[in-house]
């Protein structure tokens, strides 16, 4: 891979998204189990369907730009997944991709700005704030970590690690929350004690992105 420690190019983004598709596939049963505790138990299969579509498309797309990779990922969620979560993940990645414009490579500042806009869109469309026990509880701290990393002048590896760690802490915080959005709101107190499925998906994706870039740097 060609890009340096301060930027992610299209090949990096392609590798990151393909690796994330593999990671959610490995955790499909766990994601569905989390959703089954409070909802209809389809979350794992939903996310794998969306991301497998993106992986197939990317495997036959030569030299996509970072924005193209996000567009393809968004399409997987919007066209192949459906449901509330599909539309929200689709909007997230579509707005992130728009934020990348037609750049050949993205730095930490571009990542932080694009992720921040994407997370704002999810909160508006989902009418959700942190504390409602949704994907937003992982996304908001992750976007904040990206902004802090940009301000501190972190390289992409450290920035992605901080984003992933913040998302995972956000997931852990959802465990003790009752649910106020999505199907889980009908579960009442049954939701308490179970981390949110959509937030867990966010953490898996960002952790895989971070690990992919660590491997790139070690190569």
Name the residues that contact ligand ADP, by CB under 6 A.
Answer: 35, 39-40, 42-43, 46, 83-85, 88, 126-128, 134-136, 181-183, 196-199
Give yes or no for a contact between 17 and 8, defined as CB atoms under 8 angstroms apart: no
Ranked by CB distance to ligand ADP, the top (closest) residue is 198
Residue 216: Cβ within 10 Å count: 18
Report which DSSP code applies to 177.
Answer: P
The Cα 13–Cα 189 span in angstroms is 39
**Residue 134 contact partner, candidates Mg ion, ligand ADP, none, CB within 5 to 8 A by sort of partner:** ligand ADP
Binding to Mg ion by CB under 5 A, coded x per residue (else -) over 15-54, reads --------------------x---xx-xx-----------
- Kindly state the smallest distance separating residue 66's Cβ from ligand ADP, in Å: 25
Q: E strands within the chain?
A: 7-9, 105-107
CA 213 to chain centre: 15
Which residues in 122-161 contact Mg ion (CB under 5 A)?
A: none
Q: Which is nearer to Mg ion, 38 or 69 (CB)?
A: 38
């Amino acid at each position: 891979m060609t890009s340096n420690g301060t930027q992610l190019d299209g090949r990096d983004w392609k590798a990151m998204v393909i690796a994330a598709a593999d990671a959610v596939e490995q955790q499909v049963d766990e994601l569905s189990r989390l959703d089954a505790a409070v909802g209809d138990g389809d979350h794992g299969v939903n996310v794998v369907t969306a991301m497998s579509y993106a992986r197939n498309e990317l495997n036959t797309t030569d030299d996509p730009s970072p924005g193209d990779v996000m567009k393809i990922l968004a399409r997987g969620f919007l066209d192949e997944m459906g449901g509330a979560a599909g539309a929200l993940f689709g909007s997230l990645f579509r707005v992130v991709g728009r934020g990348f414009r037609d750049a050949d490579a993205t730095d930490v500042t571009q990542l932080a700005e694009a992720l921040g806009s994407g997370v704002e869109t999810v909160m508006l469309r989902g009418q959700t704030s942190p504390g409602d026990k949704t994907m937003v509880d992982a996304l908001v701290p992750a976007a904040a970590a990206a902004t802090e990393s940009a301000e501190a002048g972190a390289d992409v590896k450290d920035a992605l690690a901080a984003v992933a760690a913040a998302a995972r802490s956000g997931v852990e915080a959802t465990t003790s929350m009752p649910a106020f959005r999505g199907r889980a709101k009908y579960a009442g107190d049954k939701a308490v004690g179970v981390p949110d499925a959509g937030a867990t998906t966010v953490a898996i994706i960002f952790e895989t992105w971070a690990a992919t870039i660590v491997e790139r740097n070690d190569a």
